[in-house]
Amino acid sequence: MTSALSRLRAGLVLGSAVLLLAACSVGRLAYNNASPVVTYMVDDYFDLSGDQEDWVRTRFSRLQAWHRETELPTYERDLLEAVRRTERPLTLEDARWVNKTLRSYYDRAVEQALPDMAELLLQLDTEQARHFERRFAKESLKIEKETARGTAEERAERRAEKMIDQIETYTGRLSREQRALVAQDVRTMVDVAYMRLADRIVRQELIVALVQAKPPKAELVAGLRRVLMQTESWRKPEYTQALARRDEQVADMMVALSHTWTPEQRASVQRKLRAYLNDVSSLIAVR
């Protein structure tokens, strides 16, 4: 549950930028100064012209205003609910609630951004489209190298350490027994790394095809919605099933771990959630 609360990212340019806002861990400073970061990210993928950079900043400011007005109050309510749920050991329903809640943030943010994403893609010239293809392929190659690095045991160990680091962001230092519990459970979880990489490559091909085709804006919006949100229409069923199984395994692990939390660890989790809540409430107050 805690790793889910601290991680929410999309996979494509403006989608990634928008979802920086949708992460529960967004701070006031980062939120209020997101525009240059977003512009840099988009430029990194597309090598924008000066006019296009101004366009991105303008559209992002509009998107951020919508997000502040519409989404932050929802985050505030959900964080209050998360604090309430962590007053006791977690249940499977709690863990599933987190996943469902975060998915709803993703869906609403991407849906709001789709028209601007489509309009930007329609602005690209041939060289910018090639730049995007090269940039995406380079990132996929990096992920592939990292995925394949080491033996299966070494990769499992890295996944366990990453999971422990994410959990300790909330709980503070885990005991030796708690770390062993996490490590053991992570080692038995479905390893989706290679399937995720293959899925990413398919997604890239679909997006590149849309960029090259330059369909009317309405068709491009529909195509992006399919690629980014309606993944069941193109994703391999075995990957969908593996993701669902892995999510349930993570949920089971977090429920078991929460029953071992000390009073200090539970207090640490709640302090972290309340800090996020304070950030969100402060952002809502500045309109």
Would you say residue 271 has pLDDT above 90? yes
Residue-level pLDDT at 258: 94
Tens digit of each residue's pLDDT (9 = 90 or more) over 66-96: 999 999 999 999 999 999 999 999 999 999 9
For residue 272, give every residue at least 6 positions away whose Cβ sits within 8 Å of its Cβ, in sequence order, or none. Answer: 169, 170
Q: How many CB atoms lie within 10 A of CB 18?
A: 26
User: 12 falls in which pLDDT band (50, 70, 90)?
Assistant: very low
Tens digit of each residue's pLDDT (9 = 90 or more) over 174-219: 999 999 999 999 999 999 988 998 998 899 889 989 988 999 999 9
Higher pLDDT, 286 or 24: 286
Alpha-carbon span 262 to 270, nearest angstrom: 13
Distances (CA, A) of 117 to 10, 42, 56, 122, 145: 13, 10, 10, 9, 29
Tens digit of each residue's pLDDT (9 = 90 or more) over 98-139: 889 888 988 998 999 999 999 999 999 999 988 988 888 888
Distances (CA, A) of 17 to 61, 176, 234, 252: 12, 37, 24, 31
- Tell me if 64 sits within 8 A of 57, measured CB to CB: no
What's the CA angle centered on 285, arms 280 and 287, to 5 degrees? Answer: 110
Alpha-carbon span 76 to 267, nearest angstrom: 19
Q: What is the 3-state secondary structure (H, E, C) of 55-93?
A: HHHHHHHHHHHHHHHHHHHHHHHHHHHHHHHCCCCCCHH
Q: Which helix (H) or strand (E) holds 130?
A: helix 126-148
Helices (H) and strands (E) in the chain, counts: 14, 0
Q: What is the DSSP letter of 190?
A: -
Would you say residue 15 has pLDDT above 50? no
Q: What is the DSSP letter of 232?
A: G
- Tell me the whole-structure pTM to 2 decimals: 0.86
Alpha-carbon span 26 to 88, nearest angstrom: 25
pLDDT average, residue stretch 4-13: 34
User: 6 falls in which pLDDT band (50, 70, 90)?
Assistant: very low
Length of the chain: 287
User: 24 falls in which pLDDT band (50, 70, 90)?
Assistant: very low
Residue-level pLDDT at 150: 82
Higher pLDDT, 20 or 29: 29
- Tell me if 167 sits within 8 A of 2, measured CB to CB: yes
Residue-level pLDDT at 287: 66
Residue-level pLDDT at 1: 39
